Amino acid sequence: MTRSSRSTITPRPDRSARRILTPAVSDVADHLRVRGVRKAFGSTSVLAGVDLAVAQGRSTAIVGPSGSGKTTLLRLIAGFESPDSGTIALGGETVAGGGTWVPAHKRSVGYVAQDGALFPHLTVGQNVAFGLPERGRAAAARVAELLEMVSMDPQYAKRRPHQLSGGQQQRVALARALARRPGLMLLDEPFSALDAGLRVATRRAVAKTLTDAGVTTILVTHDQAEALSFADQVAVMRDGRLAQIGSPFVVYTRPTDRATAEFLGDAVILEAWMEGSLALCSLGGIPVRRPPAQGKVHLMLRPEQIRIAGDGPIRGTVVDTDYFGPETTVRLKLEPIAVDPLHPADPHQPVGGEVITIRHWNAMLARPGTQLCLKVVGEAVAFPWE
């Protein structure tokens, strides 16, 4: 898992409260509705039946590994490709499928490509003004307004795209896409070409601009941290299907399957025995909300749910550590559970001895060979045993 994923555990008080409380299915009218969309290139199926609804003014991140079909879905919504079957509706009006086809330039959809796709033969100002119906002074005023909207000095209007940094190019591309006041904005990995520091800053600036303008937004990304921090709704894409759609908090803490769990962040997976709503594993009895099965299951915990605590009931020995500065990744071998010789071994009882990875802020506590006491916070997620 990448280091950037760790930023997801930092709470973001400004927006997270709203995002977490927003139900994935809302009663607000859906701006975009994708139904049963399939697309194949030659004999390769890229989208195998996608359903997605995005509410007016909300943001959705489509996240998935490369090759999962997320960019194709975005290009279908933009109108650069047409679906083989299924329908796409914008604001209640079908734009593709069912015998209807509305070309890209009539969809009122903004699009920001991976590298910004600024026209190299035009200045920044001419780029922003490209889609504007206004000319002359009115256009110039609107360009200045748009550049300010993306936090850029209007002086930049005279520059050429190649004189801008990568982050500035992306912001100009956003201003250009905003110029026609689109109802829906599509962002195709617009931050992936930027370096780490710039990426976070540009992402925040873009998110704020779009939220303030009340534009419905779809972001496509392969970076799960970006998806979780950017959007009100996260759709996880795998092999041409949406594996799970929900608020960032829900998809991160309650993934529907193991692959989604591991894609969205580091996960501790343990063998467990499910009885009622309690899972018995090497870390003790852990509550599970809505267990999918009883008996033998895989149990998933996020590393940050396992804390080092002096009074913790579980013991483990540090195997090794990776120091990252603000935090340390600690690999622990859990203590084998001693079997009571007077009672026969219970097949439901865990045996312990697994190696798990957790995170801790204090590197000094976790030297190899040290024995630590652990406790588990919150609920776990169980997946049926395959």
Partner 1 sequence: MLCVLIALFSLVPLVFVAIMTANAGVDTIVALVFRPRVGELLVNTVALVAITVPLCVLCGVGGAWLVERTRLRGHKIWAVLLAAPLAIPAFVNSYAWVSAVPSLGGVAGGVLISTLSYFPLVYIPVAAVLGRMDPALEQTGQSLGLGPWRVFFRVTFPQLRLAIAGGALLVSLHLLSEYGAFAMIQFDTFTTAIYDQFRSTFNGAAANMLAGVLVVLCLVLLLLEERSRGTARYAKVGSGAQSGPVRLRLGWYQGPAQLGLAALTVLAIGVPMWHVVRWLIFGGVAVWERDPLLTALLQTLGYGLAGALATTLLAFPLAYQVVRHPGRTSRLLEGANYISSSMPGIVVALALVTITVHGLPAIYQTSIVLVAAYALLFMPRALVNLRAGLAQAPKELDEAAQALGKPPLLAFVKVTLRLTAPAAAGGAALVFLGIVNELTATLLLSPNGTNTLATEFWSLSSEIDYAGAAPYALLMILLSAPMTYLLFAQSKKAAGQ
Binding residues for partner 1, rule: CB under 8 A, are 78-80, 103-106, 109-111, 113, 115, 117, 119-121, 130-131, 173, 176-177, 179-180
Q: Cβ neighbours of residue 261 under 8 Å, at least 6 residues apart?
A: 255, 267, 269, 300, 381, 383
Nearer to partner 1, 127 or 247 (CB): 127
How far apart are CB 81 and partner 1 at their closest, in Å? Answer: 10
How far apart are CB 213 and partner 1 at their closest, in Å? Answer: 17
Nearer to partner 1, 182 or 303 (CB): 182
Nearer to partner 1, 176 or 199 (CB): 176
CA distances from 334 to 61, 67, 205, 282 (A): 37, 37, 44, 7
A 10 A CB-CB count for 261 gives 25
Q: Is the CB of residue 289 less than 8 Å from the CB of residue 254? A: yes
Q: How many CA atoms lie within 13 A of 275 on its CB side?
A: 7
Measure the CA–CA gap between 301 and 286, rounded to whole angstroms: 10
Q: Cβ neighbours of residue 379 under 8 Å, at least 6 residues apart?
A: 286, 287, 288, 289
Nearer to partner 1, 80 or 361 (CB): 80
How far apart are CB 122 and partner 1 at their closest, in Å? Answer: 9
How far apart are CB 263 and partner 1 at their closest, in Å? Answer: 27
Measure the CA–CA gap between 262 and 310, rounded to whole angstroms: 29
How far apart are CB 118 and partner 1 at their closest, in Å? Answer: 8
How far apart are CB 130 and partner 1 at their closest, in Å? Answer: 5
Region of 219 on the Ramachandran plot (φ > 0 left; ψ -120 to 50 alpha; else beta): beta
Nearer to partner 1, 178 or 372 (CB): 178
Q: Is the CB of residue 30 less than 8 Å from the CB of residue 53? A: yes
Nearer to partner 1, 111 or 156 (CB): 111
Pairing verdict, β 109-112 and 184-188: parallel
How far apart are CB 112 and partner 1 at their closest, in Å? Answer: 9
Nearer to partner 1, 221 or 229 (CB): 221
